[in-house]
Amino acid sequence: MTSSKLLSLIFLHLAFLVFVLDHANAEGLKIGFYQQTCPSAEAIIKNTTAQYISRAPSLAPALLRMHFHDCFVNGCDGSVLINSTKNNVAEKDSAPDLSLRGFQVIDGVKTAVEKECPGVVSCADILALVARDAVSMIKGPFWPVPTGRRDGRVSTAQNALNNIPSPFFNITQLQASFASKGLSVKDLAVLSGAHTIGISHCFPAVTIRLYNFTGKGDTDPTIDPNYAAVLKKICKPGDLTKLVEMDPGSRKTFDTHYYSIVSKRRGLFHSDGALLSDSVTKAYVLSQISNGSTFLKDFGPAMVKMGKIGVLTGKSGEIRKRCAFIN
């Protein structure tokens, strides 16, 4: 058996185990979960989110990213929202989460929902709905969000470090990370497309790639040299403050342009360029820059699937009164 076939079998086995472990809980989710207990919940969430996005559209990609980071650590249980205490460093204070923003949106939405229906709607569901509504409000796709999640009580920085895919990851590491959450190689290609909106700081995932990729003062050989030259004018060694577009020229529009730049080896992160290193992900990238693009149709189902990772339902977890604090 070849190493690639063995790796594929390992991925499938991981995905099956995650499916078996999570399936029962995920079955507790349904569209309109709060129809009887808080019928106005989704309207309140949408309207309150709109108040923030209308003033700051750049919060949309930030909230989408926050939902992704939440789901990849302990499942979609709102644990990314919990504050650190003197006895515990929480997820939001881990290195991968330090650049997350938009927590005030979740707090504002939670406050509005609590006024109408105290102790009914979970922070985990609010985050999933806010991410969807925020993307839709900047003319991105809309997808149905099954609800019924409950909030987790565990949030540690180490869990975030162990589970959030790194922008340094190669394709094998990315596939393993997604497989461990029950997500397919296609899901990896589709969800990576979220980088079609938003910006990044010139943090180490960018500057190391430009100036010291293997520790020898070199540039990542998988990046287009012309694009690297452009980035070097923006991001100087050690720069942590300058902002750079993840999808140059189209960062405010939820479209297929991201796949176009990846195909030209102009993805901002090494993990973007890694999509060209696998036959399935490369084929998906190339198919999105033709007239037969399916990304806008594919994105919603992939988000629904991601939103079911490791959910707590029924009597598991809790409904937090304030999203940043365990009851």
pTM of the model: 0.91
Is 79 annotated to bind ligand? yes
The residue annotated as part of the active site, out of 67, 69, 257, 270, is: 69
Name the strand (E) or helix (H) holding 258: helix 257-263
Confidence at residue 13, expressed as pLDDT on a 0 to 100 scale: 53
Is 73 annotated to bind ligand? yes
What is the Cα–Cα distance from 152 to 167, expressed in whole angstroms?
Answer: 26
Is 75 annotated to bind ligand? yes
69 annotated active-site: yes
Which amino acid is located at 198 in the chain? G
Confidence at residue 35, expressed as pLDDT on a 0 to 100 scale: 97
What is the Cα–Cα distance from 149 to 313, expressed in whole angstroms?
Answer: 5
What tokens does 77 get? 């249980």
Confidence at residue 241, expressed as pLDDT on a 0 to 100 scale: 87
Angle at which helices 103-116 and 59-71 cross, to 10°: 80
- What are the phi and psi torsion angles at 199 (to 5°)? -135, 165
Residues 6+ apart with CB under 8 A from 104: 52
The mean pLDDT values, 10 residues at a time, for the chain of 327 residues are 51 49 68 97 98 97 98 98 97 96 98 98 98 97 98 97 96 98 98 96 93 95 97 92 92 95 97 97 95 94 98 96 95
What is the Cα–Cα distance from 144 to 173, expressed in whole angstroms?
Answer: 30
Is 195 annotated to bind ligand? yes
DSSP class of 244? E
DSSP letters for 99-141: T---HHHHHHHHHHHHHHSTTTS-HHHHHHHHHHHHHHHTT--
Distance between alpha carbon 199 and the CA centroid of its chain, in Å?
A: 14
Q: Are 105 and 49 in contact (CB under 8 A)?
A: yes
What is the Cα–Cα distance from 144 to 300, expressed in whole angstroms?
Answer: 8
**Residues in a beta bridge with 200:** 244
What is the Cα–Cα distance from 302 to 143, expressed in whole angstroms?
Answer: 10
Name the strand (E) or helix (H) holding 199: strand 199-201
Angle at which helices 204-211 and 225-234 cross, to 10°: 120
Confidence at residue 23, expressed as pLDDT on a 0 to 100 scale: 47
Output the CA–CA distances (angstroms, integers) from residue 272 to 142, 171, 249, 281, in the order listed. Answer: 24, 9, 17, 10
Name the strand (E) or helix (H) holding 200: strand 199-201
Query: For tokens 């990370």, what's the residue?
Result: 177
Coil, helix or strand for 147?
strand
Which amino acid is located at 40 in the chain? S
Is 248 annotated to bind ligand? no
What tokens does 52 get? 């923030």
Confidence at residue 27, expressed as pLDDT on a 0 to 100 scale: 76
Is 3 annotated to bind ligand? no
CA dihedral over 44, 251, 68, 309, signed as positive or negative: positive
Q: Are 167 and 95 in contact (CB under 8 A)?
A: no
Q: What is the 3-state composition of the chain as percent helix, strand, coil, each rounded to the nearest 5? A: 55, 5, 45
